[in-house]
Every structure is written in structure tokens, then in C-alpha cells.
Amino acid sequence: MITIWYVVFSPNKYNYTSMQTVIGIGISILALLLLTVIRKKQKNIVDYTLMAVIGLFAALLWSHAWISIQLTPLSFVFQNLAHHFLFPTYVIYALLLLDGGHRMKRRWWWVGSFAVVFAVFSVLDMAVLSEYDEESLRLLYEEGTPIYQVFYKAGFVFDLIVLFWLLQRIKAYRNRIKDYYSSIESIQLNWVHNFTVILIVANAAVLFTFLLYNFDFLQGIETPFAIIFGITTAILFYFCYHGVRQYNLAEFQDLERAGSNTGENSDQVLPGITKVKYQTSSLKEEEMDVIYRRIQQCFSDEHIFLNPDLKVHHLAQKIGVTTHNISQTINSKAQKPFYDFVNAYRVNHLKELLADPDNQQFTVLGLGMDSGFSSKTSLNRIFKQHTGMSPGEYKKRQFVAS
């Protein structure tokens, strides 16, 4: 961060060296992440897409070093394309994570449409439509012609639209996994959500910075570019740290597909709207009643919820129906997803343990683990959602009241 401070605020004579330092740091970080991905034995499309994101990040950083040494039509086009293809490639990477990393889908291709259009225009402009000498190319780079200004600003707006759309997909995914898992902390992709938000803020900040430059509130193209590459290097730390931790969620998608032979389209899931979500299901009301009674028996009599890794397919195997039928039955009869249904039993079980005087010698966390919770964080969060107080507060009130 000290390096980024110098890049943005130091005198011009230091900017070149500081910028090269930032670029060197960023590319070094990317190289470490790339090495981690390359060393993975069984790669899939998620890994290769991540490698593409890494390559575009590095290309964006390196292109500035190239231009600072020699501004040519090739270096100019290279930098523009690296920027415009970076965002859609990251979005595809995130969509593959959400979808389980099995294959690319044609309906996602629209996110790269603007980059393709701009790529065609810029290549044609440099090779056929216009002739740029050194001075005119420098002017184009620093000021931009009206049509380039339209492309640049439209590109920022388009990227923001795509990123906001991705946030909605992440939200839908988070709601969908609640139908299949009782513990979702490790698979809800918080880092993808957070990184997408960071990109939205960064993209908006860069757009605002360039608008300030266009209206002469900032002097010199170096300041906007310094801000861009300072922000880029900073967010690389966050992206690279989490990028090596999680590549795909194939298990979730396999479970989802195992029970999806009823024609449900996972992309059309509308969380919380049970009637729309299962409108293509052939499961009858009488069948759901039978399944629900069996589910209640598993929870009330057999205490299946005490398994912290309980998933809907475990319950489906025990009862002998599909995961889809289990999910639909719980959503329809209990009016809540599998995740909330299971954790309601865990909370009630823990409340009984906390109210028992014989359990005073045990810690709240220990009793929580015995109730099926997988971590202290999830225990406190879920318990408070159901009761309005922490487990510790609940325990104290029980014994004060007695």
C-alpha cells in the first residue's frame, strides 16, 4: 500500500520508478497464483478460466510498462483489449464456480459482447481506418477521439451492468444451496461476492477519475493511470489469496442434478417462491404428506440433524426418494429451505441442553457442537437469528429465571 501511495501522490519524477515497482509486485503475485494452478494435477475448465483471468491481469499491468517505454498502435490496442476482456473473463470464471465448473454455457457469452465489438473496432481503426503518427497516437492515448471516448465510457458502464448482474446470480446461488445443505459457510462463495463488489467500486472509481480528467479537474493522464494500476495491484492480493483456495463446487451441482430429473431449470430458481420454483414437479400433495411425516420422524426420533455435515441427499437416501422431492416437500410443508429447517431443530435441541442444569459444566460451544453446528461462527449467527440472543445470553436467562 505504501508503494501505491507513492504512485498516486509522489512527484512526477518518482512516478515512473514507483509504477514499475507496482507492476512488478502485481505480476509477481500473479505468477505465484499461476504456478499454484499449473501444479494442480486434475485441471478443469474452471482452472483454465482462472489462468486466463491471471493472464489478463498480468497483461493489463505489463501493457502500461510497455506503453511507458514505447507507445505504438500494437501496445495501444494490447492495453485496451486486456482491460476490456478482463471483466467478462472474471465473470465467466465466477459463473463456472456457481455452476459447478462443468462446462461453458452459451447464454453467458453476452458478457463478452462489448469486448469483442471494441476489439474489432480498435484493430480495424489501427490497421485500416486511420493512420497514426507518433504525435497523433500520443494525443489519442491521452485525450481520445470522440468515438474512443464513447467506447471507453460505455465499456465502464457495461462492466458495471455485468457485475451487478453477477451479484444477482450469486444471491440466487446462495439461496439455492440452502435447499441442499445444512451447513453452507464453506460453499457460499463470500469471497466471490466480496471481490465482485470490490470490482464494482473500483470500476466506478476509475470511471469517475477519468470523468474528472476529461473535464480538466485532473491534469495529466498519469494520475488516472496511477490510480488504475494502484487499485489493480491492491485487489490482486484479495483475488489471489482466495483464488488458490477454491476452484469449483462440483459436489453441490452433482447433488443438485441427482434430483433434477423433473425438469427443473436451476437458472430459473426464484428463492422463497415455492409455487414457481416447483411448478413443473409431478409430486402430488398426498405423496408430500407421506414424505414429510417420514422427514419429521428422522428429525424428531432419530435426531439426524445432529450430523454437522448433513446434506439433503443423506436424507433422501434414508427415506428412499430423490433429493428434489425432499427439497420440494420441506419448502412446501415447512415453508423454509432445507438449511433453515435443519438448523431450527439444532437451535431447539441446543435450547434444551442449555436449559438443563446438568449441563452447566459444559461450554456453550461444546453443547453447540453436540447439537450439530459446525463452527462457533455459525452457531452464534444461526442461534441469534432464531432467538434474538446469543447462546450465552440464552443460558444466563434460563438460570436467572430458575
pLDDT over 90 (residue 144): no
Contact between 346 and 373 under an 8 Å Cβ cutoff? The reply is yes
Domain residue ranges of the chain, discontinuous segments joined by +: 2-253, 267-401
Q: What are phi and psi of 189, to 5 degrees?
A: 55, 50
Residue 48 half-sphere exposure, CB side, CA atoms within 13 Å? 8
Please give the CATH number for the structural domain made up of 2-253.
Answer: 1.20.1070.10
What pTM, to 2 d.p., does this model score? 0.74
Lookup: cell for 116: 469483442
Lookup: cell for 368: 453447540
DSSP 311: B
Judge: domain 267-401, CATH 3.40.190.10.
Answer: no
271 sits in the region (left: phi over 0; alpha: psi -120 to 50; else beta) called beta
Cα dihedral across residues 352, 355, 358, 361: positive or negative:
positive
d(CA 158, CA 152): 10
Contact between 79 and 64 under an 8 Å Cβ cutoff? The reply is yes
Determine the pLDDT at residue 12: 43
pLDDT tens for 316-346 read 999 999 888 899 999 999 999 999 999 999 9
pLDDT tens for 150-192 read 888 898 899 999 999 999 999 999 888 888 888 887 777 888 8
Lookup: cell for 56: 489478463
pLDDT tens for 341-381 read 999 999 999 999 998 888 888 899 999 999 999 888 889 99
Contact between 93 and 48 under an 8 Å Cβ cutoff? The reply is no
d(CA 378, CA 380): 6
d(CA 374, CA 221): 52
